[in-house]
Every structure is written in structure tokens, then in C-alpha cells.
Structure 1
């Protein structure tokens, strides 16, 4: 079985609301999260949670407590936050995801203010509780190996006061992050989606999935304010997917393959096309040399995707390549059930993807990006870290099948 998480943005989204919804849905071991946050060098961090009512809905509200007051600041440079994350005891996967989330927001801020990324400094988002929002969200995403979907993104009206002065809603950086998403306007003078919430949406959009499956759990994360116009909550729905017919040792699903041949685009540009397609939600991208008509050498571009990402990927192919046509091939896919586990190596913790054939764990593959990050941290080759993670993965398989 695989996990899919769907977000209903009834009251918008902020970092604390995302975490609270995950806690309410039973996805978070709070003690383990607190231990992870405690490695950031801020002191002992506690996640205070309480049940509250927002509008007509009861859910969980969270806030962070306990950090060293000397660490409090309402602004920090991006480089300072990145160093804080890099020097922490977080797993390599959480470090990479949290850093990328801050960089995603940083790129938006840099564009809005017309400055280089290295010069970006965060005001409200640089405060300790906002840093903890980002890191906690990254921790949840790493702990729960899931695909995501979300409903309509609400946008309010009016203005808000910030360190940059009075700005319109949604905030310019938030609007930049949400470019390309469908927005629903509500005539309510409030900020429905915060910059942290927008960065979370931009992050989960890179792991798209279909909202279907067996309903396993749900949870409500509550914002701090209580409005009369709406329930200030986000709902997180947990779905189990991939059930196979009785007796089959694997899973089945439906995907779409997009195929075209290209012979008039500089080969070195295809690498950026590939990266763009993955950012748009491709499950896989394959390029292979082909001999085309009139003896021309070219490349066949084959993109695998969920049906719901087809339109976005077709647009990306037409915009970023020279092709005039794409073949669309619906197809069935058979795949191993997958789980994600963390193993210990001499270099640190690494997640491995475990493949199951029925009830037997038959393979465990280390996450390359985590191995690469640990290799850079320890000044060794990626191959050495990868081999260590493979060995730990084999031990895990033996334990699972014992």
C-alpha cells in the first residue's frame, strides 16, 4: 500500500496548521519531532498542542515553546538559516528538504525585491517559530512517504503590515510562489495562505497524486485566529492506495506516457528540459537516441506521469522543446509495494526505499540525494556512503524477512 495525503484548505494554510493537521491525523510522533528540533542549536524545543474550536470545527492548534530566548530574532539571512540546518543533527533528508523549502521562498523573495538570492534575509520568516514551522513540515514530509493533492487555494483581500511596510494580500512572495496554481478569491480581509504555507504547497506539488483510495484517517489543523466568516482550519486526509486484486503480490495503477522525437534542439539543452519535467510532476523521464527520417539523428523523449499531471507536462514539453506533437499513451503499471525506512551508517542516517513482493521484502535502495549530502558533509565519495547504506539496507531486509 502507498500513502496519499490530501489537503482541504478551508481556512488557507500556514506552517503551524500543516503540522497540527498531521498531528491530529496521527502521523507525528511528537517526542521524536521534539528531539529532532532540539538539534537546531536553539535549545530544548517543545511542541505544545491543544484542542480548540475554529468556527464549527474542532481540531489541534500548536505552538513552539522552550527555546533559548537569546536565539530569538525577527530576521535572519538565508545563509544563516542554511548554516543552522546544515550544522544540526537532523537526518540528511530533512536537511535537504528544509533547505530547499527556504531556498524556494528565498528565490521568490529575491525576485520580488530585485536582489540576488545570497542577499535575501527573512523578516517574519526568520523568527524562531517560523524556522521551526519549516523544519517541522520537512520532518513530516520525510517521515511520511506520500504523494499529495490539495483543493482550491483561497486568497483573501486587503493589506497586512510587515517589516517592509503595508503590502497587499496575498503577500508578493506568496503570490510568486503560487504562480501557476488555481486561486479562489474570497472577499475576506485576511491572509489565507502565509509565505510558509505557500512554500509547503509548492513543495508537495512536486509529489503529485490522485485523490482516491481507502480513507485511513483525517485531521484538522487550526490557525491562531478565530473568524466569524469561516473555519480557520486545514483538513489533512490520509488515503491508502494501490490495493491489488486478491492474491497478487504487487500493486497496479494507471499512468500516462507522453512520447515525442526531437532532432533540432541542442543536446545540452535537454538536461534542463528533463529537470523542468520533473519539477512539473513527471514520475520518470527517459531519453534515448533514435534514427529519424532522412537519416537524421535525434532523441526520443518519454515522460511517465499521473493522469492528473498530463496537461501541465504537455505544456512543459511544448514550451521547452521544439516538438510540434506528442503521443499520449494511457497504460497500466505493475509495481512493487514500497515502504520507506531509515537506516544507520557510519556517516549518519539514510532513508532506503524497500520493495515488497507480497509479504517478502526483496530490495532496499538508498536515497541518492541523502547519500550525496552525507558524502559532502564527511568529505568522502558518494559511492562509499551509498555502499554503506546498501549494506545497512541488506541487514534491514534480513530482519524484515526473519
Structure 2
């Protein structure tokens, strides 16, 4: 099937001064644009429990941002920045962070032209001794390089990143990371390391806000999707349908599938990464229906969801997935997705409501918002611009309810 999306239809003027360069002093003090069935209102994020319908199940992405940027030097003194994207060997996140001695990662390298051969390194003090982390390029090409790391100290790679790395704040903030980013560019519920960008819709939640909503009958569930740097890749092709979507790894527990089944029809996704995870479940379920297996070794394709019959509901998908996990005796399902949610007739099967920040012009995230809100995305963004709402990762929030 031929698909065409003119990316210029998803453009708007975003003045530099409207991009929030730093977070507010209090997470839940951000403004909240409320879009409900076409009507717009404005609240503060701390009011989210008054805005959402009673009994909603909110789904968080509990990934944790890693200190993925490491500043290293060649023996000649040339400064090389190594930005770890995802593990290569071992390829599993848990094992990659737990390994000692050496590992390989897919990386973006800053000042690559100065690193033709040999190693780069960084020295550091650990318990009174001078230690070294060294890196060699072993493969890859173009934007991403395969980098081999080796180190002298008896510590895991995760511990080394925590000690040496820097939080990779988004490039559009146009500044170096600061101390405040170490805490505020993480959600309060982050658990599992693996992301190079935060699931920013969740940055507005505080522990107190969550506990207060639980006391009022709201449900909370978690999935894990490790956010890759591809989330910031601009759509360069005039036809956005030709934009190659990046792969992101996700995981869902059997208990979460059960919670989704119980509250299907009342599911609020906190952020676009939660949307991508939840909607990808329908593709895995359809594979089970067709072949008996979710084929988790094969990422959910960019357009795979569009080819599933509309009659296959989200409720049916969750039933299918739960049945498979019960038969296999598995408590966790790990998979990957390249899903691209666009206004080209995408049918939301799992997600009912969406909490999300304001996204860049001509981005795949804006396409997702337009898929949900239709042409009303123009009205939503025009309102946000006219009423001084703050944009992008550290900006204000919106809750979209059809």
C-alpha cells in the first residue's frame, strides 16, 4: 500500500524563547492544557486527578536515563565524546550494565574525524588508586560506531557510567548538562537503566501526587521502554512516510497485562513512549493469533499495526497476550518496536487518553499527537503558543481526551 505524509503539514513556528531550558522549581507546578472532545481549558499539572475521568489506569514508562555521555581523550590530547546508545555485546541491557572488564556498545562519537585508529581513554580515581577506561572503534559506520570498552577497576560498566558519565540532555536545550539535570531529567518512578532520553511526560509527577491519586481510586501500572536517541531524529524527507523509524526495546510484565485487561477502555498513557509500548502489544497479539508466537526476536514493524483488521480489538489483543503468557509460564515479555503512529488512519486499540508534553515541529512525536487528536492538533498548539505554555522536554504538559 502506498503511503504519503507531507511533513510540511505538521510544521509550526516555535520561537527559541518558548523552549524550556530548565525545569520549574516544583515538578507538578507546570501548566496543564486540557483538551476534552474539542474543548480547551488550562489548569496546573497538580490538578491532573481532577481532570481525568475517575477510575483511569495510568501507565508509566519506568525506564531510567543513563549517564550515557563519556568525555575521553586520545593520547595526543584530542577530546573525543562517546555517547552510548545501546549495548552490542552483551546485547541485553541488564547484562551490559552488570558486566565487568569489557563490553561493546553502539555509540555516536563526537569529533570522530580525530579518532581514526588506536584508543581513547579517561583516567579517574577510585578508592585512592588511579584507574583507566579505554575505548577502541571496532566496527559500524556512518552515524553509529561500535565501540569496545575495557577498564582496570573491579566494577561493573553500570557503575563506571554512574561515576564517569554525564546525563545526555536533549540537543535542543543547547547547553551542557548541570547538576539539576541529574535528578530532574529522571522521573520519580524510574527504575531500569537503559534510556538516553527521558520519558518526559512523566517528569511532572511527584510521589505525593501519585499517592493522592491512588487514594482516589486511580490505578497505576508500569511498562519499560528504553528511549533511544532516534527519538530526536528530525524527519528529513518531505514525505514523512519514508522516514525510517528507530528501534526501541520494551518489556511488559504479566501482571501489567492483567491490569490493562481489567481496565481496558479506561487506560491513560503517560507519554508517547508508553503509547508506543502499549499499542505494540496488539501487533504481538496478532502474531500469536496468526502463528502461535509473538516472534519477539523480530521488532514490531513501522506499518505492521495498520495491516491488522479493525475488528481485532485491544481487549481481544490483551486476552490473547495474557493467554499466551499463561501457556508459556512467562512473567515478562521482552520485544522491540519500530512502530510509527501517524494520521494515516491509525486505530488506537489500547490507549484511551494521552498525557504528553509539546513536541518539536515536523517530528514523529507530533505525528503521533495528530493521529490521536486529528486536525485539532493545530488548535491545541496554537493555544499553547498564544498562552505562554513552555515547550519540549522541560516544558508544560497536556492531557488529551477524545
What TM-score results when the alignment is normalised by the length of structure 1?
A: 0.26
RCO higher in structure (CA 8 A, sep ≥6): 2
Structure (1 or 2) with the greater strand fraction: 1
Structure (1 or 2) with the greater helix fraction: 1
